[in-house]
Chains A and B, each alone.
Chain A
Amino acid sequence: MRELIKSWKTVPSLAVLAGLFVAPLSLLFVVSFWSKKLFRVVPDFVFDGYQKALVSYWDVGLNTLAIAISTGIITTTIAFFFAFFIRFKAGRYGDILLFISLVTLFGGYLVKIYAWKSILGLEGILNTALIGLGIVSEPLGALLYNRGSVATALTHFLLPIAVLPIVASMRNIQDITLEAGRDLGAGPVRILLGVVLPQCRAGIIAAFAFSFLIAAGDYITPLFLGGTDGAMIGMFIASQFSIRFDWPLGSAMAFLTMFSCLTVVLIARLAIVRGRK
């Protein structure tokens, strides 16, 4: 009886989960097998959406994964060092640093995109500086509208989100394990990779998953900074729903993206956990 009452208490949260997460996903999953007749979407059980998605969008899909994986790796790496500094080097200023890095999240993400646009653009800060210093004679067009500019802006935006879980898991590391490492002859690099990193694997996995998944699903940054080179799948999925009204194709693309992303996260997790030896 008690068990029953206890389990009843989970009903509200389960209802929220079901209403906001499971239902829309199931709906999309069903729709992904429907077919599109002229301007109407009719219930059906065909694989047209998946076929079209794989044939027409595989290259954008791979591009998306490439950008998101590199964003995830770069963000997590920088976040690891930043978190290490906050936890072990900054002393009482650590919390202030963490707070400041989180405050940048409130700066809004369009602002950051425009900031990078004005930094990397043809008449942007970087080009002006390079010309002013006489390093180049003409503005470099290659700075903007490519994978690199997208990954840069995404890294900037995602960094605080990645720092947080790593700092949290580093808080559980005892300072004396670092001292013990030094005592046994380990230099700074060995301490970092052999003592600190293995003790905050959970945080690193979370940081990579967050930054990779958010990057992979982003469709605003590539729109403004990506050009043709830096196009990402999210832009095309969005347009299937908003402009082209091809819900089956959009849903199929969404599911393919989701499964590839989950695969990447699982592989990354395995790689980090296996890294033990």
Chain B
Amino acid sequence: MVNDRGNQLNQKDSPLVRLRDLSKSFGRVEAVKSINLDIKSRDFLAILGPSGCGKTTLLRLIGGFAEPSNGTIEIGGNDVTRLGPERRPTNMVFQGYGLFPHMTVRENIAYGLKIQKVSQSEREQRVDDVIGLVRLEELADRGTGELSGGQQQRAALARAIVMRPQVLLLDEPLAALDLKLRQAMQEELRRIHNEIGGTFVFVTHDQGEALALSNRIAVMDEGNIVQEGGPEDIYASPESRFVSTFIGEANILSGRRQNSVVTLAAGLDLPSSSGPDGAVILVIRPEAVQILSDNSQVDVRTEGTIVDKVYLGAYVRFQIQLSSDEFITANVPTLNLSKEYFSGDRIAVGWAGKDHRILMDS
């Protein structure tokens, strides 16, 4: 996928942003609960979670728009916990853009540099550079009200980038755009991150966006970071039911572990790696589930009845009812189907043992 960008390179660097025991309560509601997170230089980090999980609050804490109830924030080795946004080396791209309606695009972009008293010649140069970077040359002298959503998005991005922040914060940057524009802006963001090489932190509820854009993902749920890692790690090795179903699709089969043997409700015994006894779940991605002809060799094998079948072009999606009355979804590449199957057929399904994960059921 995409995370070959500098992941190794950064391993030895000390983190640029260091969050320690960071929490934020609004009245009785704990929006962010004691978060520890390191963000390395040049990271493109996605904070991913469902709405209300505290991800925007976390971003606002990093930007200085909310004061933490507890904990510290360090950026570039300096404690910025008590500093306002005007004194932090961060800049934010707001979800509603927040462009100044009484200024042109160019004036919007130049605003921060004027405050920093950057000389006029340098200011003009830098403003022109970012206008070129976000491709707004034609619209630079228009009022912001005349721009479309995507153009406003790029203007807001330019206004933040021109400040050369140590950390660029993006709050649901693409949420307000339609699908086509969103895909185009994803590419723009990737390109811009490659070109200027800054550290980007963006908040999103869209797992596809997080996978496509970032080299690291922090998954949030109910105010906690529940898992953090590269997109492949998170997708391939989810550590909880929540993460496995929130990022990508997953089949969840219930079972129990006793003396290192997992027995599934679907009537299967799996020799498992060690772990405490108790209720467990087995997580398997739909694309890893195969429909087996009689002679195929797989690690896990069971039987079921096809209850639904949808042809989706590149693959066919089967809903299969197992003996436990649990359902399992299999996305089988159309090219791999040796014969035609119909609803009601009894079939054998299975998967490679390395493809499933067994987690404690919480």
Total contacts A to B, CB within 8 angstroms?
62
Let me know if B94 and A179 touch, CB within 8 A.
yes
Query: Could you say which of B65, B85, B97 has the most chain A C-beta atoms within 10 Å of its C-beta?
Result: B85
Query: Which of the residues A174, A185, A195, A199 comes within 8 Å of B112, measured between beta carbons?
Result: A185
- CB < 8 Å neighbour of A176 from B94, B102, B112, B115: B94
* Contact call A174/B98, Cβ cutoff below 8 A: yes
A183 to B83 Cα, complex, angstroms = 11
Pair A185/B94 contact, Cβ less than 8 Å: no
Question: Can you list, as one digit per residue, whether each of A189-202 has a CB less than 8 Å from chain B (1) or not (0)?
Answer: 01000110011000
Q: Which residues of B contact A180 (CB under 8 A)?
A: 92, 94, 98-100, 159
User: In the assembly, what is the distance between CA of A177 and CA of B97, in Å?
Assistant: 8
Residues in B neighbouring A40, C-beta threshold 8 A: none
Check B116 against A185 for contact (C-beta < 8 Å): yes
Q: Could you say which residues of chain A place their CB within 8 Å of the CB of B116? A: 185
Which residues of B87-101 have CB atoms within 8 Å of chain A's CB atoms? 90-92, 94-101
Asked if A183 and B86 make an inter-chain contact with CB atoms under 8 angstroms apart, the answer reads: yes
Asked if A179 and B101 sit within 8 Å, CB to CB, the answer is: no
Total interface residues in chain B, CB < 8 Å: 24
Given A176-B94, A182-B86, are A190 and B102 neighbors across the interface (CB < 8 Å)? no
User: Is there a chain B Cβ closer than 8 Å to A102's Cβ?
Assistant: no
Bound form: Cα–Cα A177–B112 in Å:
13
- Across the interface, do A183 and B63 meet the contact criterion of CB distance under 8 Å? yes
Q: Flag if B159 contacts A184 (CB, 8 Å).
A: yes
Mostly, the B contact residues are: mixed
Inside 8 A of B63's CB, which chain A residues have their CB?
A: 183
B191 to chain A, nearest CB (A): 23
A186 interfacial by beta-carbon distance below 8 Å: yes
Please tell me the number of chain A residues within 8 Å of chain B, measured between CB atoms. Answer: 18
**Residue among A179, A180, A185, A195 with the highest chain B CB neighbour number at 10 A:** A180
CA distance A194 to B65 in the complex (A): 19
Q: Is B315 an interface residue (CB 8 A)?
A: no
A198 touches B102 (CB 8 A): yes
Asked whether any CB of chain B lies closer than 8 Å to the CB of A187, the reply is: yes
Q: Which of A177, A185, A187 contacts B100 (CB 8 A)?
A: A177
A179 & B98 in contact (Cβ 8 Å cutoff):
yes
Closest partner residue, chain B, to A187 (CB atom): B86
**Given A176-B94, A176-B96, also A182-B102 (CB < 8 A):** no
Residue of B nearest to A191 (CB): B86
Binding site for A on B (CB under 8 A): 63, 65, 84-86, 90-92, 94-102, 111-112, 115-116, 159-160, 163
Q: Which 10 A-B pairs have the closest CB atoms?
A: A184-B112, A176-B98, A180-B98, A198-B102, A185-B115, A182-B85, A183-B85, A176-B94, A185-B86, A182-B86
Additional A-B contact list (9), CB under 8 Å, known A176-B95, A187-B86 = A174-B96, A174-B98, A179-B65, A183-B63, A183-B65, A183-B85, A183-B91, A184-B86, A199-B101
